[in-house]
Chain A
Amino acid sequence: MVAELGLFALILALLLALAQGTLPLIGAARGDVALMAVGRSAAYGQLFFMALAYAALTYAFVTDDFSIAYVANHSNTLLPTQYKVSGVWGGHEGSLLLWVLILSFWSAAVATFSRSLPREVLARVLGVMGLIAIGFIGFTLFTSSPFERLLPAALEGRDLNPMLQDPGLIIHPPMLYMGYVGFSVAFAFAIAALIGGRLDAAWARWSRPWTAVAWAFLTIGIGLGSWWAYYVLGWGGWWFWDPVENASFMPWLMGTALLHSLAVTEKRGGFKNWTVMLAIMTFSLVLLAAFLVRSGVLTSVHAFAVDPDRGLYLLLFMAVVVAGSLTLFAWRAGKVGLGGGFGLVSRESALLTNNVLLAVSGAAVLLGTLYPLFLDAFGLGKISVGPPYFEAVFLPLMLPLLLLLGFGPRLRWKQDSPTEQLWRLRWIFVASLAFGMIWPLFVGNWSFLAGIGAFLGLWIIGSSLKDLVERLLPRAGSRQTLGTRAKRLGRSYVGMQFAHIGVALVVIGITFVLGYDDERDVRMAVGETVEVGGYGFRLDTLERVQGPNFVADQATVAVFRDGQRITTLQPQMREYFSQDQPMAHTSLHRGFFRDLYVNMGEPLPGNAWVMRVYYKPYMNWVWAGVILMGLGGFLAATDRRYRVRVRREEDLPDAVGDSSSKTSAAPV
């Protein structure tokens, strides 16, 4: 019963999406207010029915309804309840349902928070969102319905993949999808602007907070995925340049470029075409990610069951979206006009450089990800492109970008003097270079990579803090209190600095962990001690333990440093009742300067196991940096100016020749 209810709700959601995808667009073209108003109601209705469909599937999971094929394949009566709830997105069909639910959520959010938008613009944005929803709800209904019945019903479910039974995975997909699908809003705004032929600073201002929120979600989502891989897969790695990871990284790179390009469009009215192009590309890469993961062309933890229909549907959908939006772009973009000019050294040129570097990085990742697939698809051979390629390309591309990051945000719009800015930052530069080169010596032998990483990280943090302090210190003749000055900074500016400092932490973390991590695969018998990264690991006991839906071999490992006991780690090798595959469960001790990590391999004769022991310096700096970046994105999106209705067009620095350097100190 509940499956039919869910399916029915899904069909109704599709019908509402059809209404939302057509009527408001027609209304906007004809100036018909009633038709335009359909968009908002349809968006709410679609969200309602999607939520109903989603709730129906969740109910089926919680009540162990194994007459539904999807539930029978991804759940089990013994599965703890929180994993039954998160098991809904543990497979292709359910995760797609979550994707669509989030899409309708974003539609409804636009309908709610964009009351200040002109009627036509809102109608077009919701119309485009509706069109996207038609594509995805149709995909769910016609190729991947999670409500298919299983006849006869299974007595017991096949259980959720044990790798997915983890708190990190409860939140990773929703966060990631919030990000992916969130970029559909930026895309819809861009397409709406192209249709309306009105691509101005107001458009950029409306679009910017949505982009920032989507970007923040995607950042956190990718970070969570990496965090999950780090401790669940038990390989001690956190980024493998796996095609699926790349699939999420490409929209992130483009989205980051978009975020920065929007700054120029909003503040200076420039880069309009480029911004629109980036919005289109970002969303296209999101669709590409969906295709890569869901078509079965890839094999990885994420790849779902292979079904050629799904791949074909997504490929066609992607083709329609990309071709359609690029045609529209070619047809309309000429009309939008150019922004103001700018000098060789200016905020604009810095952001342009940022964009070029990010776009090139994105293209390099695209090449490395798609080329093997193309060769394979055309039967030209099987090759793979490993991490060395991505590392070889990324390091030289990120180096100038990170150098610029400490410098660019301080540049004035339109024209600035490079010597003056560099002169002001000379001490920061010298200090960060000196400390950066010395810092690695506290961790181990000197490494060039760690030295560069520490220097760049300190350079970014130093110049960000200097900028913050300068803005907070009282100016001569000003009577503002510190509180007022802090308020005047604006959340947009503070968010930017958060995100940039987050980048710096990620850079330091990555270069240090790459330079100094220590991994040892060793035979450990009870009572034996091994030394890794200056820590002693002693295997004390081996025992058999019982969990809710598994039994496990558990090792108790005492960790020492300089004779002092630091912690006790208890890794397990679990055997889940429902599967014949054993699964290693890592035990971690996290710390500010290092993680210690023990993983069980295989039993050996003589009361011993093969164990994997890791020392991971500065690992938590990466996660902290990602969190800071995400927070920065959210903070920037809540800036006051996005909530204030733009009453007069003249308030916005639209066309050429606007008031020059007086506004230059304004935050990006």
Chain B
Amino acid sequence: MKKRQKRLLLVAGGLAGVAVVAGLVLNAFRDNLVFFYTPSDIVAEIVPMERTFRIGGLVEDGSVHRAEDGVTVHFRVTDTAVAVPVVYHGILPNLFREGQGVVAVGSLEDGGVFRASQVMARHDETYMPPEAAEAIKRAQREQARTVGHADGGY
């Protein structure tokens, strides 16, 4: 009897431990999911404030300029439909270029400026970050649809 009780205790303890850990893991998981939005999503205001997320698109031509301190950079990310202003403090990746794909992690500030904590560009010459490609694809699909609607009106 004593042995059985002990074993029961062990199993119960183990299960309780696993349950606690599972809860912990899932909770941390839910809190730390980083969603992806396109510039169009941001303009459409379906993006949560005060939460970290990723945006992707192309660095708009002629939009990159440095602040006086030399370290803060402003640029705009576009999905070819709309563009969102981004501010980043730090060194940009070596392959960050105007007209090229880019993905940034950060959050939206009041006034619709995206403050990036991390900026990622392609890591070789032939490659476009998939999320940048996705943003452009979605925007173009959206445009095609609206254009289609407009056509239907005539």
Chain A residues within CB distance 8 Å of chain B? 161, 163, 299-301, 344, 349, 356, 360, 363-364, 367-368, 371, 381-386, 388-389, 392-393, 396-397, 521-523, 579-584, 599, 601-602, 604, 608, 610, 612
Contact = CB atoms under 8 A, between A and B. Distances in A.
Contacts of B127: 299
Interface in B1-55: 6, 9-10, 14, 17-18, 21, 24-25, 28-29, 31-36, 52, 54
B129 A299 contact: yes
A581 B95 contact: yes
A364 B26 CA distance: 9
Contacts of A523: 69-71
Given A367-B29, A389-B28, A522-B71, A382 B131 contact: yes
Contacts of A382: 35-36, 54, 131, 134
Contact of B92 (A163, A301, A601, A608): A601
Interface residues of B, number: 38
Contacts of B9: 344
Contacts of A161: 124
Contact of A584 (B17, B66, B94): B94
Contact of B123 (A301, A584, A604): A301
Nearest to B128: A299
Contact of B125 (A581, A584, A599): A581
A383 B103 CA distance: 13
A601 B90 CA distance: 9
B71 A383 contact: no
A388 B94 CA distance: 26
B123 A521 contact: no
A381 B71 contact: no
B36 A384 contact: yes
A247 B54 CA distance: 22
Contact of B25 (A356, A393, A604): A393
A383 B124 contact: no
A300 B33 CA distance: 19
B112 interface: no
A561 B140 CA distance: 56
Closest 5 CB pairs of A and B: A523-B70, A601-B91, A389-B32, A392-B28, A382-B36
Interface string B110-149: 0000000000000111010111001000000000000000
A57 B70 CA distance: 47
B105 interface: yes
B25 A581 contact: no
Contact of A385 (B18, B33, B91, B125): B33
Contacts of A522: 71
Contacts of A385: 29, 32-34
A612 B129 contact: no
Nearest to A608: B70
A381 B35 contact: yes
Contacts of B131: 382
Contacts of B14: 356
Contact of B6 (A344, A368, A386): A344
A529 B99 CA distance: 35
Nearest to B123: A301
Given A382-B134, A389-B33, A599-B91, 18 more contacts: A161-B124, A301-B123, A356-B18, A364-B25, A368-B29, A381-B35, A382-B35, A385-B34, A392-B24, A392-B31, A392-B32, A393-B28, A396-B24, A521-B89, A521-B91, A523-B71, A601-B92, A602-B91
B34 to A, nearest CB: 5
6 contacts: A356-B18, A382-B54, A384-B34, A386-B52, A522-B71, A523-B71
B22 to A, nearest CB: 8
A198 to B, nearest CB: 28
Contacts of B94: 581-584
Interface of B: 6, 9-10, 14, 17-18, 21, 24-25, 28-29, 31-36, 52, 54, 66, 69-71, 89-92, 94-95, 105, 123-125, 127, 129-131, 134
Nearest to A163: B123
Contacts of A599: 91
A358 B33 CA distance: 23
B130 A299 contact: yes
B21 A612 contact: no
Given A367-B25, A382-B134, A581-B125, A604 B70 contact: yes
Contacts of A384: 33-34, 36, 54
Contacts of B35: 381-383
Given A386-B105, A389-B28, A612 B91 contact: yes
A203 B24 CA distance: 37
A383 B32 contact: no
Contacts of B90: 521, 612
Given A299-B130, A396-B24, A608-B70, A381 B36 contact: yes
B23 to A, nearest CB: 11
A581 B94 CA distance: 7
A352 to B, nearest CB: 9
Contacts of A392: 24, 28, 31-32
Of B10, B34, B131, the most chain A CB neighbours within 10 A belong to B34
Name, among B25, B66, B89, the residue most crowded by chain A CB atoms within 10 Å (CB to CB).
Answer: B25
Contacts of B21: 360, 397
Contacts of A610: 70-71, 91
Contact of A602 (B25, B92, B134): B92
Contacts of A583: 94
A361 to B, nearest CB: 9
Contacts of B71: 521-523, 610
Nearest to A368: B29
Contacts of A612: 90-91
A364 B89 CA distance: 32
B70 A389 contact: no
B101 to A, nearest CB: 11
B25 A386 contact: no
A383 B33 contact: yes
A360 B25 CA distance: 9
Contacts of B124: 161, 581
Nearest to A161: B124
A222 to B, nearest CB: 20
A565 to B, nearest CB: 26
A583 B94 CA distance: 6
B5 to A, nearest CB: 11
